[in-house]
Structure 1
Amino acid sequence: MLTLSDLYEKQKELDARIIKEKGLEGVDLLPNTVLALQVEIAELANEWRGFKHWSNNREPRREVKCHACRGRGYFEFGADADKEHCMYCEGSGVQEKDPLLEEYVDCLHFFLSIARQLDLPEDDLYIPDDMVEGETVVLFTELLHNVGMINGHLFLYHEPENIRSHQREHFRGALACFYGLGEQRLGFTFEQIAEAYMAKNAVNHARQSNGY
């Protein structure tokens, strides 16, 4: 069974490959990674949809219809024509089975990458569930706030040796919100998260191989 430590090691391998192949040795990538995580959190919120009080459709998007057959699972070329099986979705009518989970694990990739850049031990990745309180909207806003505060340049008036402790503090606060969202609010099990992470990790390696 996969553990969080396994995922952390997989992320380190992916990061090392990207840094080597893109010639990024010695470059401070934390600001980019923090911004990337904020973007992914926003995309996760957009798939969740619960904050959209102006919309009649506020349910999470748990699947995306196939763009080719428009969710039917087959093609029909005339009133009397036989139905042709859709090869793009294999007849399921679904293009993506759970975009909400996919966005969540995209966030996890960047969380683990930030943990590596902050030289955090694996123990810092384990946050008790009882640290998380509040409604889903509050967790999203707290999450975005804490992630933004990870950037060390925000602590201009602190002693340099204290900057890392502030970064770690906000990282842990963000991670607590993130875990609370995943398991308590969005209903993901760790097994689902780990499986989806590994699948997306493989995609990310394939992208590097194909000149992404």
Structure 2
Amino acid sequence: MQLEKLFQMQKALDTHIEDKHGLQDEDLFDRKVLALLVEIGELANETRSFKFWSVKPSSAKEVILEEFVDGVHFILSLGIECGYDREQLDLNDRQSSLDVTEQFLFVYDRIIIFQKSKSLDDYIKLFTSYLGLASLLGFTYEEIEKAYFHKNEVNYLRQQNNY
């Protein structure tokens, strides 16, 4: 995965948003953590992996991928907040022995642990666990990158249209 490029794109988007909304001097870390938790909830809702009471199928793969990429935006943004966009991150170990529901819960745990520690090690564990979820959902790095690039453009357009 082209992490350096993704971090650069995210940093530019974050700066644009902060400038537009006068947030340069605000501590946005906890709001970004909450936004990430919400986005992962939206992703879980689209997969319907936890809805044992329903026979309705999950959303289309493209919808699920777009929701997944929303989470990538906030994970990158949190890394930037902590200065980890300049680190060499080893995110290769993304296999999971958990099922999708268990992996969602694991990702939630990793977010809360990272929120409290803000450590590089916990950031890597968070990012890796999220990529493990991607693997369980059947997404490749190439699909994630392509969807990220597209959603990044959408996010700029939304800002131009006073989203």
* Alignment TM-score, normalising by the size of structure 1: 0.71
Out of 80, 99, 105, the position equivalent to 1:116 is: 80
Partner residue of 2:130?
Answer: 178
Matched AA of 1:139:
Q
Give the structure with higher Rg (CA).
1
Q: Distance in 2 between matches of 1:16 and 1:149?
A: 26
Aligned residue for 2:55, secondary structure, equals coil
Q: Map 1:18-97 to 2 at 5 A.
A: 18-57=17-56, 59-62=57-60
1:27–1:145 Cα change, 3 Å? same
Shift of 1:170: 2.8
Match of 1:136 among 83, 95, 100: 100
Correspondence for 1:92: none
Q: Do residues 206 (structure 1) and 157 (structure 2) align? A: yes
Q: Is residue 94–residue 129 contact of structure 2 (8 Å, CA) maintained in 1?
A: no
* Deviation of 1:131 (Å): 5.9
Cα distance change of structure 1 residues 175 and 148 upon mapping to structure 2, 3 Å threshold: same
Q: Is the 8 A contact 2:114 2:126 kept in 1?
A: no
CA contact (8 A) 2:107 2:129 kept: yes
Q: Which has the higher contact order (CA 8 A, sep 6+)?
A: 2
Matched length: 162
Higher helix share: 2
The alignment's C-alpha RMSD in Å is: 1.7
Structure 2 equivalent of residue 5 of structure 1:
4
Higher strand proportion, which one? Answer: 1
TM-score, normalising length from structure 2? 0.91
Distance 1:169 1:133, change over 3 A: farther
Query: Matched residues in 2 for 1:128 and 1:103: separation?
Result: 22
Measured in 2, the distance between the counterparts of 1:131 and 1:186 equals 12
